[in-house]
């Protein structure tokens, strides 16, 4: 199957700073990418849908000003957590959408805010 | 509203035993259904999918799933579990503009 990479795989940042997470589709073009958040022992919670060249669509309850998403090319989407706080600590996962709603997932990024 | 339920939060089976993980969905039209597996430290991997046609679908790693429209179910099965199958399993349904995931079933395998 297709490969999606995420960078970094884990990051620790101080409260109040911003951190950027990159999601790349390595061998396919992803017009649409999704960003998920996963809490321990829980399912994936969709945060936003990222479409190349247009604004992201955020799910209800997700602060668009805190979680900035940019999808500047068909192979790269970025999630920036601005003014991070300890409650933003989580596992963030991206995916690239292929045909028939099949997704290829990145390995995830563990964010810890101290 | 579309939803996915996985009644079993955690299942423990012995290695070599058969496995069935349950999934029920709520969706108005013919669904696109998926099973994904998440192993520690790894990304989600697609096991199998159903779009149309034969209601019994074969996947990777010896898994299969059966779509039953009358029961709104898409249960995952494997005849003989291996220790390496221990992981988190997610059922998912494609909605109009997104994919909705179930809460997941954690599988433990006893040697």
Taking an 8 Å cut-off on Cβ atoms, the answer to whether A101 and B99 are in contact is yes
Residues of A engaging B, defined by a Cβ cutoff of 8 Å: 1, 4, 34, 41-44, 46, 49, 93, 95, 100-108
Q: How far apart are CA B109 and CA B36, in angstroms?
A: 18
Nearest by CB: A100 against B36, B51, B100: B51
Residue A51 half-sphere exposure toward CB, CA atoms < 13 A: 7
Min Cα distance B42 → chain A (Å) is 5
Instruction: Measure CA A13 to chain center.
Output: 17
Suggest the residue from A31, A44, A103 to mutate for an interface test with chain B (most B CBs closer than 10 A). A44
Nearest by CB: B32 against A93, A101, A106: A101
For A77-106, the pLDDT digits (tens) are 999 999 999 999 999 999 999 888 889 999
Taking an 8 Å cut-off on Cβ atoms, the answer to whether B94 and A46 are in contact is no
| Tokens linked to B76 | 């995952």
For A48-80, the pLDDT digits (tens) are 999 888 889 999 999 999 999 999 888 999 999
Q: How far apart are CA B4 and CA A32, in angstroms?
A: 23
For B67-99, the pLDDT digits (tens) are 999 999 999 999 999 999 999 999 999 877 788
Query: Distance of CA A62 to CAs A49, A58, A95, B23, B104, Å?
Result: 12, 6, 18, 27, 22
Tokens 């396919």 correspond to A28
Nearest CA among A52, A59, A54 for reference residue A25? A52
Residue B84, φ and ψ in degrees, nearest 5? -75, -5
Task: Give the B window 71-100 contacts with A, CB below 8 Å.
Answer: 90, 94, 97-100
Residues in Cβ contact with B73 at an 8 Å cutoff, skipping those fewer than 6 apart: B22, B23, B24, B25, B66, B67
For B34-70, the pLDDT digits (tens) are 999 999 877 899 999 998 888 999 999 999 999 999 9
């Amino acid at each position: 199957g297709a490969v999606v990479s995420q960078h970094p795989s884990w990051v620790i940042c101080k409260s109040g700073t911003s951190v950027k997470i990159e999601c790349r589709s390595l061998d396919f073009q992803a017009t649409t990418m999704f960003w998920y958040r996963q809490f321990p022992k829980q399912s994936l919670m969709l945060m936003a849908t990222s479409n190349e060249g247009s604004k992201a669509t955020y799910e209800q309850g997700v602060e668009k000003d805190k979680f900035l998403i940019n999808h500047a090319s068909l192979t790269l989407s970025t999630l920036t957590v601005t003014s991070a706080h300890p409650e933003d600590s989580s596992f963030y996962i991206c995916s690239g959408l292929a045909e028939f709603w099949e997704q290829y997932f990145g390995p995830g990024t563990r964010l810890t805010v101290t | 509203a579309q939803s996915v339920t996985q009644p079993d939060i955690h299942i423990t089976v012995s290695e070599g035993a058969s496995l069935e993980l349950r999934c029920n969905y709520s969706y108005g039209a013919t669904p696109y259904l998926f099973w994904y597996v998440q192993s520690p430290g790894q990304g989600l991997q697609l096991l199998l999918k159903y779009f149309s046609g034969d209601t019994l679908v074969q996947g990777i790693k010896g898994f299969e799933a059966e779509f039953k429209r009358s029961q709104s179910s898409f249960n995952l099965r494997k005849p003989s579990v291996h220790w390496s199958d221990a992981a988190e399993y997610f059922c998912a349904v494609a909605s109009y503009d997104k994919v909705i995931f179930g809460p997941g079933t954690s599988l433990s395998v006893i040697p």
